[in-house]
Amino acid sequence: MGMVFFQVASLAAGYGSEKVLQDVSFTLAKGNTLAILGRSGCGKTTLLKTLAGLHPATAGAVYLNSENITAWKPRQRGILYLYQEALLFPHLNVFDNVAFGLRLRNTDALHVGAQTNALLEKLELSALSNKMPDQLSGGQKQRVAFGRALNVQPPLLLLDEPFGSLDVETRANMQLFYKNLARQQQMSSILVTHDLKEAVLLGDQYGYMENGQLTLFPDLNAFMADARTGMAHEMAFWQTMQQQADTQHAQSD
């Protein structure tokens, strides 16, 4: 594991008297993706919103590059939250959506143009530069959303089931796209999902969330061995299917 640059210590959060997160602690190495698996309503989204500063923590601390950022506002943290939906700004075209974050920082127009165009090319979005969001497919929208996020070079990306609204094929393509991008850009991210395959495919570190509590696993084998992840059940299912197919094949011979 690389150098720890993001740390969460005994974090708790909730809504009124309802406790949603309890004593959540973990560390993340630079350039890694922590994949957190969990069912709907287990507190995954609240965890990401608390880390982004969009929801207040009731206890614990968040450290970025050893600095306590628990009381910082979202814009000061620079941690980027990507929703399940692409949430492109409907009044801006693809270029302006991707350039949005740079323009907020009053970056020089020439620099905005050069950097955004280079990124659009890398993401194979140059041809769509002038299109409005309602002219794009689901996968294209998600790529633009990634472009908008990457253009501001955030220290950490928070991915809240970012491919959940896509069809199976587009989802698989986007997972590969993200995997390659994360490697190329050395991106650090926390991904929450209820899709086991997605967690295994995209994660470098693994966790499982249940009732607001996070269990961390030292490696993929430990993650797969935990019954709650459903991995053992999944593998058993496919092994049974394979055996049945083999038996049928042998009988037909």
Binding site for another protein (CB under 8 A): 49, 52-54, 73-75, 77-81, 83, 85, 87, 89-91, 100-101, 103-105, 148-149, 152, 154
Do 86 and 142 form a contact (C-beta atoms < 8 A)? yes
Nearest to 44 by CA among 76, 17, 81, 73: 81
Task: State in angstroms the smallest separation of the CB of 78 from another protein.
Answer: 7
CA 156 to the chain's CA centroid: 10
CB nearer to another protein: give 79 or 166. 79
Task: State in angstroms the smallest separation of the CB of 103 from another protein.
Answer: 8
Task: State in angstroms the smallest separation of the CB of 245 from another protein.
Answer: 45
Task: State in angstroms the smallest separation of the CB of 134 from another protein.
Answer: 8
Do 50 and 12 form a contact (C-beta atoms < 8 A)? no
CB nearer to another protein: give 31 or 155. 155
Task: State in angstroms the smallest separation of the CB of 75 from another protein.
Answer: 5
Read off the amino acid at residue 142.
Q
CB nearer to another protein: give 178 or 223. 178
Across 16-100, where does the E strand assignment appear? 18-29, 33-38, 59-64, 67-68, 80-82
Nearest to 203 by CA among 215, 212, 192: 192
CB nearer to another protein: give 54 or 200. 54
- Cα separation, 214 vs 45, whole angstroms: 13
CA 151 to the chain's CA centroid: 16
CB nearer to another protein: give 187 or 231. 187
Task: State in angstroms the smallest separation of the CB of 143 from another protein.
Answer: 16
Burial class (CB in 10 A: 0-12, 13-18, 19+), 117: middle
CB nearer to another protein: give 143 or 217. 143
